[in-house]
Structure 1
Amino acid sequence: MPKIVDPDRRREAVVEALFRVVERDGLEQASLRNVAAEAGLAIGSVRHYFDNHAELMVFAMKAMSERVGNRLAGHFDRLVTAADRLEVAFDMLAEVLPLDDSRRREVVVWLAFVHAARTRPELRSHADGVYDDLITLATRIFEGGRRSGRLAPDVDIALEARRLCALLDGLAMEAALHPDRMDPATTVAVLRRHLTSLLVHSGP
Protein backbone atom coordinates (compact mmCIF):
# COMPACT_ATOMS: atom_id res chain seq x y z
CA MET A 1 0.00 0.00 0.00
CA PRO A 2 1.29 3.48 -0.81
CA LYS A 3 2.38 5.56 2.14
CA ILE A 4 -0.27 8.11 3.14
CA VAL A 5 1.22 11.56 3.70
CA ASP A 6 -0.60 14.15 5.79
CA PRO A 7 -0.32 17.36 3.70
CA ASP A 8 -0.52 19.66 6.73
CA ARG A 9 2.22 17.78 8.57
CA ARG A 10 4.40 17.76 5.45
CA ARG A 11 4.01 21.52 4.98
CA GLU A 12 4.79 22.04 8.66
CA ALA A 13 7.94 19.92 8.33
CA VAL A 14 9.08 21.94 5.32
CA VAL A 15 8.43 25.23 7.11
CA GLU A 16 10.36 24.05 10.18
CA ALA A 17 13.24 23.12 7.88
CA LEU A 18 13.08 26.59 6.36
CA PHE A 19 13.25 28.16 9.81
CA ARG A 20 16.33 26.09 10.70
CA VAL A 21 18.12 27.05 7.48
CA VAL A 22 17.32 30.75 7.94
CA GLU A 23 18.45 30.74 11.56
CA ARG A 24 21.68 28.88 10.83
CA ASP A 25 22.69 30.15 7.39
CA GLY A 26 20.56 33.20 6.56
CA LEU A 27 17.63 33.74 4.27
CA GLU A 28 19.78 33.85 1.15
CA GLN A 29 20.59 30.16 1.68
CA ALA A 30 16.94 29.11 2.05
CA SER A 31 16.46 27.88 -1.53
CA LEU A 32 13.92 25.19 -2.24
CA ARG A 33 16.78 22.72 -2.75
CA ASN A 34 18.46 23.56 0.55
CA VAL A 35 15.17 23.51 2.45
CA ALA A 36 14.30 20.15 0.91
CA ALA A 37 17.68 18.74 1.95
CA GLU A 38 17.20 20.09 5.48
CA ALA A 39 13.80 18.42 5.66
CA GLY A 40 15.18 15.15 4.31
CA LEU A 41 12.98 15.33 1.23
CA ALA A 42 13.44 15.33 -2.51
CA ILE A 43 12.98 18.76 -4.04
CA GLY A 44 10.05 17.36 -6.03
CA SER A 45 8.27 16.60 -2.77
CA VAL A 46 8.63 20.21 -1.69
CA ARG A 47 7.42 21.46 -5.08
CA HIS A 48 4.34 19.29 -4.66
CA TYR A 49 3.25 21.60 -1.82
CA PHE A 50 4.90 24.88 -2.84
CA ASP A 51 5.11 25.85 -6.50
CA ASN A 52 8.00 28.23 -5.98
CA HIS A 53 10.22 29.87 -3.40
CA ALA A 54 7.98 32.93 -3.01
CA GLU A 55 4.98 30.75 -2.15
CA LEU A 56 7.01 28.91 0.49
CA MET A 57 8.21 32.20 1.99
CA VAL A 58 4.71 33.64 2.24
CA PHE A 59 3.40 30.44 3.79
CA ALA A 60 6.27 30.42 6.31
CA MET A 61 5.66 34.05 7.29
CA LYS A 62 1.99 33.30 7.88
CA ALA A 63 2.86 30.19 9.89
CA MET A 64 5.25 32.19 12.07
CA SER A 65 2.77 34.98 12.76
CA GLU A 66 -0.04 32.50 13.44
CA ARG A 67 2.16 30.71 15.96
CA VAL A 68 2.81 33.92 17.87
CA GLY A 69 -0.80 35.02 17.47
CA ASN A 70 -2.05 31.79 19.04
CA ARG A 71 0.16 32.39 22.07
CA LEU A 72 -1.11 35.95 22.37
CA ALA A 73 -4.71 34.76 22.13
CA GLY A 74 -4.09 32.56 25.14
CA HIS A 75 -3.62 35.69 27.26
CA PHE A 76 -6.79 37.54 26.24
CA ASP A 77 -9.09 35.84 28.74
CA ARG A 78 -6.63 36.69 31.49
CA LEU A 79 -6.58 40.31 30.34
CA VAL A 80 -10.33 40.55 30.95
CA THR A 81 -10.41 38.87 34.35
CA ALA A 82 -7.01 39.53 35.93
CA ALA A 83 -6.72 41.76 38.97
CA ASP A 84 -3.36 43.03 37.69
CA ARG A 85 -3.79 43.81 33.99
CA LEU A 86 -0.25 45.19 33.81
CA GLU A 87 1.23 41.74 34.41
CA VAL A 88 -0.97 40.20 31.74
CA ALA A 89 -0.08 42.96 29.29
CA PHE A 90 3.57 42.41 30.06
CA ASP A 91 3.25 38.66 29.44
CA MET A 92 1.55 39.33 26.10
CA LEU A 93 4.21 41.74 24.90
CA ALA A 94 6.97 39.40 26.06
CA GLU A 95 5.72 36.82 23.55
CA VAL A 96 7.37 38.79 20.73
CA LEU A 97 10.74 39.13 22.50
CA PRO A 98 13.61 36.59 22.39
CA LEU A 99 13.50 35.63 26.06
CA ASP A 100 14.20 31.93 25.46
CA ASP A 101 15.65 29.74 22.72
CA SER A 102 12.31 29.23 20.96
CA ARG A 103 11.39 32.90 20.85
CA ARG A 104 14.94 33.85 19.93
CA ARG A 105 14.75 31.66 16.84
CA GLU A 106 11.40 33.20 15.95
CA VAL A 107 12.82 36.70 16.21
CA VAL A 108 15.95 35.86 14.18
CA VAL A 109 13.85 34.33 11.41
CA TRP A 110 11.27 37.11 11.51
CA LEU A 111 13.94 39.80 11.21
CA ALA A 112 15.23 38.02 8.10
CA PHE A 113 11.71 37.97 6.65
CA VAL A 114 11.12 41.65 7.39
CA HIS A 115 14.44 42.65 5.83
CA ALA A 116 13.56 40.69 2.69
CA ALA A 117 10.07 42.26 2.62
CA ARG A 118 11.61 45.68 2.00
CA THR A 119 12.31 44.69 -1.61
CA ARG A 120 9.93 41.76 -2.14
CA PRO A 121 6.29 42.82 -2.66
CA GLU A 122 4.92 39.33 -2.05
CA LEU A 123 6.26 39.52 1.51
CA ARG A 124 5.67 43.21 2.18
CA SER A 125 1.90 43.08 2.64
CA HIS A 126 2.14 40.36 5.26
CA ALA A 127 4.96 42.09 7.13
CA ASP A 128 2.90 45.30 7.16
CA GLY A 129 -0.14 43.39 8.40
CA VAL A 130 1.80 41.93 11.34
CA TYR A 131 3.05 45.40 12.27
CA ASP A 132 -0.53 46.73 12.13
CA ASP A 133 -1.64 43.89 14.39
CA LEU A 134 1.04 44.80 16.92
CA ILE A 135 -0.09 48.44 16.86
CA THR A 136 -3.66 47.24 17.47
CA LEU A 137 -2.55 45.08 20.39
CA ALA A 138 -0.62 47.95 21.98
CA THR A 139 -3.60 50.26 21.51
CA ARG A 140 -5.98 47.77 23.16
CA ILE A 141 -3.62 47.37 26.10
CA PHE A 142 -3.45 51.14 26.64
CA GLU A 143 -7.19 51.58 26.19
CA GLY A 144 -7.77 48.91 28.82
CA GLY A 145 -5.37 50.71 31.13
CA ARG A 146 -7.33 53.94 30.65
CA ARG A 147 -10.67 52.26 31.39
CA SER A 148 -9.24 50.77 34.59
CA GLY A 149 -7.83 54.12 35.69
CA ARG A 150 -4.24 52.85 35.69
CA LEU A 151 -3.02 54.80 32.69
CA ALA A 152 -1.84 58.36 33.31
CA PRO A 153 -4.52 60.78 32.01
CA ASP A 154 -2.16 62.76 29.78
CA VAL A 155 -0.98 59.70 27.81
CA ASP A 156 -1.54 59.97 24.05
CA ILE A 157 -2.62 56.39 23.30
CA ALA A 158 -2.04 56.51 19.54
CA LEU A 159 1.45 57.91 19.98
CA GLU A 160 2.33 55.59 22.84
CA ALA A 161 1.18 52.55 20.86
CA ARG A 162 3.67 53.42 18.15
CA ARG A 163 6.40 54.17 20.69
CA LEU A 164 5.82 50.81 22.35
CA CYS A 165 6.05 48.99 19.02
CA ALA A 166 9.29 50.81 18.23
CA LEU A 167 10.63 49.79 21.63
CA LEU A 168 9.65 46.16 21.06
CA ASP A 169 11.33 46.18 17.64
CA GLY A 170 14.50 47.66 19.11
CA LEU A 171 14.59 45.27 22.04
CA ALA A 172 13.99 42.27 19.78
CA MET A 173 16.77 43.29 17.39
CA GLU A 174 19.26 44.10 20.15
CA ALA A 175 18.54 40.89 22.01
CA ALA A 176 18.80 38.80 18.84
CA LEU A 177 22.00 40.42 17.56
CA HIS A 178 23.71 41.13 20.89
CA PRO A 179 22.39 38.59 23.41
CA ASP A 180 25.38 39.17 25.69
CA ARG A 181 24.49 42.87 25.99
CA MET A 182 20.72 42.67 25.90
CA ASP A 183 20.15 39.49 27.88
CA PRO A 184 16.63 38.35 28.86
CA ALA A 185 16.80 39.95 32.31
CA THR A 186 17.77 43.31 30.84
CA THR A 187 15.16 43.03 28.09
CA VAL A 188 12.47 42.34 30.67
CA ALA A 189 13.62 45.21 32.88
CA VAL A 190 13.54 47.73 30.00
CA LEU A 191 10.03 46.72 28.93
CA ARG A 192 8.71 46.72 32.49
CA ARG A 193 10.25 50.12 33.21
CA HIS A 194 8.66 51.58 30.10
CA LEU A 195 5.19 50.26 30.91
CA THR A 196 5.27 51.37 34.54
CA SER A 197 6.41 54.85 33.52
CA LEU A 198 2.98 55.36 31.89
CA LEU A 199 0.91 54.40 34.93
CA VAL A 200 -0.80 56.54 37.51
CA HIS A 201 1.29 56.37 40.66
CA SER A 202 -0.32 56.72 44.06
CA GLY A 203 1.28 57.89 47.27
CA PRO A 204 3.94 60.54 47.90
Structure 2
Amino acid sequence: MPRLADHEQRRHQITNAARRVIASGGLEAATFQSVAAEAGVSVRLVQYYFGTKREFLLATHRAVMVRAATRFARELAALGESATPRDILRTLFTELLPLDDARRDDSIVLGAFHHATLTGAEIGAADTLGAPRFVVDTTAEQLRRLRIAETPIAARALELDAQLIASTVGGLVQGFLVDCPATEDAAELLDRLLDRMLEP
Protein backbone atom coordinates (compact mmCIF):
# COMPACT_ATOMS: atom_id res chain seq x y z
CA MET A 1 0.00 0.00 0.00
CA PRO A 2 1.57 3.35 -1.01
CA ARG A 3 2.57 5.67 1.80
CA LEU A 4 0.32 8.69 2.23
CA ALA A 5 1.94 11.99 1.23
CA ASP A 6 3.25 14.13 4.05
CA HIS A 7 0.95 17.14 3.70
CA GLU A 8 3.22 19.55 5.57
CA GLN A 9 6.18 18.50 3.45
CA ARG A 10 4.12 19.06 0.29
CA ARG A 11 3.00 22.48 1.45
CA HIS A 12 6.61 23.32 2.26
CA GLN A 13 7.67 22.16 -1.22
CA ILE A 14 5.10 24.46 -2.82
CA THR A 15 5.84 27.53 -0.68
CA ASN A 16 9.57 27.06 -1.31
CA ALA A 17 8.85 27.02 -5.02
CA ALA A 18 6.72 30.15 -4.68
CA ARG A 19 9.55 31.85 -2.80
CA ARG A 20 11.98 31.09 -5.63
CA VAL A 21 9.52 32.32 -8.27
CA ILE A 22 8.92 35.58 -6.38
CA ALA A 23 12.62 36.11 -5.73
CA SER A 24 13.38 35.88 -9.43
CA GLY A 25 10.30 37.50 -10.96
CA GLY A 26 8.35 39.40 -8.35
CA LEU A 27 4.94 38.77 -6.86
CA GLU A 28 3.17 39.03 -10.21
CA ALA A 29 5.21 36.09 -11.51
CA ALA A 30 3.77 33.78 -8.85
CA THR A 31 0.83 32.09 -10.54
CA PHE A 32 -0.59 28.62 -10.00
CA GLN A 33 1.12 27.56 -13.22
CA SER A 34 4.56 29.01 -12.49
CA VAL A 35 4.64 27.76 -8.90
CA ALA A 36 3.47 24.28 -9.92
CA ALA A 37 6.17 24.12 -12.60
CA GLU A 38 8.85 25.27 -10.16
CA ALA A 39 7.70 22.76 -7.54
CA GLY A 40 7.44 19.92 -10.06
CA VAL A 41 3.80 19.25 -9.23
CA SER A 42 0.47 19.70 -10.98
CA VAL A 43 -1.52 22.93 -10.94
CA ARG A 44 -4.37 20.95 -9.42
CA LEU A 45 -2.19 19.95 -6.48
CA VAL A 46 -1.26 23.57 -5.76
CA GLN A 47 -4.95 24.45 -5.89
CA TYR A 48 -5.73 21.56 -3.56
CA TYR A 49 -3.36 22.81 -0.87
CA PHE A 50 -3.96 26.52 -1.47
CA GLY A 51 -7.39 27.25 -2.87
CA THR A 52 -6.59 30.76 -4.07
CA LYS A 53 -3.55 32.68 -5.17
CA ARG A 54 -3.89 34.88 -2.10
CA GLU A 55 -3.72 31.79 0.13
CA PHE A 56 -0.48 30.49 -1.33
CA LEU A 57 1.03 33.98 -1.31
CA LEU A 58 0.25 34.43 2.38
CA ALA A 59 1.53 30.93 3.12
CA THR A 60 4.75 31.82 1.32
CA HIS A 61 5.11 35.01 3.34
CA ARG A 62 4.64 33.02 6.55
CA ALA A 63 7.21 30.45 5.39
CA VAL A 64 9.81 33.18 4.81
CA MET A 65 9.09 34.53 8.29
CA VAL A 66 9.51 31.07 9.80
CA ARG A 67 12.86 30.67 8.01
CA ALA A 68 14.10 33.96 9.46
CA ALA A 69 12.77 33.14 12.93
CA THR A 70 14.46 29.74 12.83
CA ARG A 71 17.80 31.31 11.91
CA PHE A 72 17.44 33.88 14.69
CA ALA A 73 16.47 31.25 17.29
CA ARG A 74 19.45 29.10 16.32
CA GLU A 75 21.91 31.98 16.63
CA LEU A 76 20.29 33.21 19.84
CA ALA A 77 20.63 29.77 21.39
CA ALA A 78 24.31 29.80 20.49
CA LEU A 79 24.76 33.06 22.42
CA GLY A 80 23.57 31.43 25.63
CA GLU A 81 21.84 32.89 28.66
CA SER A 82 24.52 35.53 29.21
CA ALA A 83 23.66 37.35 25.97
CA THR A 84 23.46 41.11 26.40
CA PRO A 85 20.76 43.27 24.79
CA ARG A 86 23.33 44.40 22.24
CA ASP A 87 24.23 40.77 21.46
CA ILE A 88 20.56 39.92 20.92
CA LEU A 89 19.82 42.91 18.71
CA ARG A 90 22.99 42.47 16.67
CA THR A 91 22.08 38.83 16.10
CA LEU A 92 18.51 39.69 15.12
CA PHE A 93 19.53 42.39 12.66
CA THR A 94 22.35 40.34 11.18
CA GLU A 95 19.84 37.62 10.34
CA LEU A 96 17.67 40.19 8.54
CA LEU A 97 20.45 41.57 6.35
CA PRO A 98 20.87 40.00 2.86
CA LEU A 99 24.39 38.73 3.49
CA ASP A 100 24.07 35.40 1.68
CA ASP A 101 21.94 33.98 -1.11
CA ALA A 102 19.20 32.63 1.18
CA ARG A 103 18.79 35.86 3.12
CA ARG A 104 19.02 37.89 -0.07
CA ASP A 105 16.18 35.90 -1.67
CA ASP A 106 14.11 36.27 1.50
CA SER A 107 14.70 40.03 1.51
CA ILE A 108 13.63 40.30 -2.13
CA VAL A 109 10.48 38.30 -1.41
CA LEU A 110 9.58 40.47 1.58
CA GLY A 111 10.24 43.57 -0.51
CA ALA A 112 7.84 42.25 -3.15
CA PHE A 113 5.16 41.78 -0.50
CA HIS A 114 5.77 45.27 0.83
CA HIS A 115 5.37 46.70 -2.67
CA ALA A 116 2.11 44.79 -3.05
CA THR A 117 0.72 46.40 0.10
CA LEU A 118 1.46 49.83 -1.38
CA THR A 119 -0.15 49.17 -4.75
CA GLY A 120 -3.39 47.67 -3.50
CA ALA A 121 -2.71 44.24 -4.97
CA GLU A 122 -4.00 41.01 -3.42
CA ILE A 123 -1.99 41.56 -0.25
CA GLY A 124 -2.85 44.26 2.28
CA ALA A 125 -0.73 45.93 4.93
CA ALA A 126 -2.53 44.02 7.69
CA ASP A 127 -1.33 40.75 6.13
CA THR A 128 2.35 41.59 6.59
CA LEU A 129 2.59 43.70 9.74
CA GLY A 130 3.44 40.81 12.06
CA ALA A 131 7.13 40.63 11.20
CA PRO A 132 7.91 44.37 11.45
CA ARG A 133 5.96 44.52 14.70
CA PHE A 134 8.03 41.64 16.10
CA VAL A 135 11.27 43.44 15.22
CA VAL A 136 10.11 46.68 16.86
CA ASP A 137 8.80 44.88 19.95
CA THR A 138 11.99 42.86 20.34
CA THR A 139 14.09 46.00 19.98
CA ALA A 140 11.97 47.82 22.55
CA GLU A 141 12.26 44.90 24.96
CA GLN A 142 16.06 44.96 24.76
CA LEU A 143 16.14 48.75 25.16
CA ARG A 144 14.07 48.35 28.34
CA ARG A 145 16.73 46.02 29.69
CA LEU A 146 19.27 48.83 29.22
CA ARG A 147 17.24 51.82 30.32
CA ILE A 148 15.02 52.83 33.19
CA ALA A 149 11.86 54.34 31.75
CA GLU A 150 10.18 55.65 34.89
CA THR A 151 8.24 58.44 33.20
CA PRO A 152 5.83 58.48 30.24
CA ILE A 153 8.29 60.67 28.36
CA ALA A 154 11.11 58.16 28.84
CA ALA A 155 8.84 55.27 27.84
CA ARG A 156 7.74 57.13 24.71
CA ALA A 157 11.37 57.88 23.81
CA LEU A 158 12.20 54.20 24.17
CA GLU A 159 9.38 53.18 21.81
CA LEU A 160 10.42 55.80 19.26
CA ASP A 161 14.04 54.65 19.42
CA ALA A 162 12.93 51.05 18.83
CA GLN A 163 10.99 52.13 15.75
CA LEU A 164 13.93 54.21 14.54
CA ILE A 165 16.40 51.35 14.89
CA ALA A 166 14.09 48.87 13.15
CA SER A 167 13.37 51.32 10.32
CA THR A 168 17.07 52.02 9.85
CA VAL A 169 17.84 48.31 9.58
CA GLY A 170 14.99 47.98 7.06
CA GLY A 171 16.63 50.73 5.01
CA LEU A 172 19.97 48.93 5.19
CA VAL A 173 18.33 45.74 3.92
CA GLN A 174 16.87 47.50 0.87
CA GLY A 175 20.11 49.40 0.24
CA PHE A 176 22.20 46.24 0.31
CA LEU A 177 19.90 44.59 -2.21
CA VAL A 178 20.74 47.34 -4.69
CA ASP A 179 24.38 47.91 -3.76
CA CYS A 180 25.84 44.45 -3.17
CA PRO A 181 29.45 45.63 -2.57
CA ALA A 182 28.18 47.68 0.37
CA THR A 183 27.38 44.46 2.22
CA GLU A 184 31.06 44.36 3.09
CA ASP A 185 30.33 47.32 5.38
CA ALA A 186 27.32 45.62 6.99
CA ALA A 187 28.96 44.66 10.28
CA GLU A 188 30.58 48.08 10.68
CA LEU A 189 27.35 49.93 9.89
CA LEU A 190 25.34 47.76 12.24
CA ASP A 191 27.84 48.25 15.06
CA ARG A 192 27.84 52.00 14.46
CA LEU A 193 24.04 52.10 14.65
CA LEU A 194 24.00 50.10 17.88
CA ASP A 195 26.80 52.20 19.40
CA ARG A 196 24.80 55.35 18.83
CA MET A 197 21.35 54.05 19.77
CA LEU A 198 22.19 51.88 22.78
CA GLU A 199 24.02 54.57 24.70
CA PRO A 200 22.47 55.24 28.12
TM bucket by the smaller chain?
Answer: 0.7 to 0.9
What letter is aligned with 2:13? A
Runs of at least 4 residues off by over 6 Å: none
Are residues 126 and 70 of structure 1, via their aligned partners in 2, closer, same or farther at CA, if it must alter by over 3 Å? farther
User: In the TM superposition, what whole-angstrom CA distance separates every residue of 1:136-161 from its partner, at most 9, and x where no partner exists?
Assistant: 011012112226xxxxx9x9211111
TM-score (normalised: structure 1)? 0.84
Partner of 2:196: 197
Partner of 1:55: 55
3-state SS, counterpart of residue 156 of structure 1: helix
Indicate yes or no: 2:11 matched with 1:42. Answer: no
Residue pair 1:79, 1:85 contacting (<8 A) in 2 also: no
Q: What's the offset of the Cα at 1:82?
A: 2.1
- Give the alignment of 1:131-146 within 5 angstroms: 131-146=132-147
Provide the C-alpha distance between the structure 1 equivalents of 2:186 and 2:73, rounded to a whole number of angstroms: 22
Indicate yes or no: 2:123 matched with 1:114. Answer: no
Q: What's the offset of the Cα at 1:184?
A: 2.4
Q: Which range moves more in the overlay, 2-11 or 189-198?
A: 2-11
Residue pair 1:58, 1:123 contacting (<8 A) in 2 also: no
3-state SS, counterpart of residue 129 of structure 2: helix
User: In the TM superposition, what whole-angstrom CA distance separates every residue of 1:107-152 from its partner, at most 9, and x where no partner exists?
Assistant: 01110111112314644223122221111011012112226xxxxx
Residue pair 2:85, 2:143 contacting (<8 A) in 1 also: no
- Give the alignment of 1:32-181 within 5 angstroms: 32-75=32-75, 81-82=81-82, 84-118=84-118, 119-120=120-121, 122-146=123-147, 156-180=157-181
Are residues 55 and 197 of structure 1, via their aligned partners in 2, closer, same or farther at CA, if it must alter by over 3 Å? same
Residue pair 1:143, 1:157 contacting (<8 A) in 2 also: yes
Residue pair 2:98, 2:104 contacting (<8 A) in 1 also: yes
Provide the C-alpha distance between the structure 1 equivalents of 2:157 and 2:90, rounded to a whole number of angstroms: 19
Aligned length in residues: 194
Residue pair 1:107, 1:172 contacting (<8 A) in 2 also: yes
Provide the C-alpha distance between the structure 1 equivalents of 2:17 and 2:199, rounded to a whole number of angstroms: 47
Unaligned runs of at least 5 residues, structure 2: 149-153
Are residues 53 and 200 of structure 1, via their aligned partners in 2, closer, same or farther at CA, if it must alter by over 3 Å? closer
- Larger RCO: Structure 1 or Structure 2 (Cα < 8 Å, ≥ 6 residues apart)? 2
Partner of 2:14: 14
- The CA RMSD over aligned residues, in Å, is 2.5
What letter is aligned with 1:18? A
Provide the C-alpha distance between the structure 2 equivalents of 1:86 and 1:123, rounded to a whole number of angstroms: 33
3-state SS, counterpart of residue 158 of structure 1: helix
Provide the C-alpha distance between the structure 2 equivalents of 1:200 and 1:131, rounded to a whole number of angstroms: 23
Provide the C-alpha distance between the structure 2 equivalents of 1:97 and 1:134, rounded to a whole number of angstroms: 13
Provide the C-alpha distance between the structure 1 equivalents of 2:75 and 2:126, rounded to a whole number of angstroms: 26
Residue pair 2:165, 2:197 contacting (<8 A) in 1 also: no
Residue pair 2:116, 2:123 contacting (<8 A) in 1 also: no
What letter is aligned with 2:69? G
TM-score (normalised: structure 2)? 0.86
Provide the C-alpha distance between the structure 2 equivalents of 1:144 and 1:185, rounded to a whole number of angstroms: 30
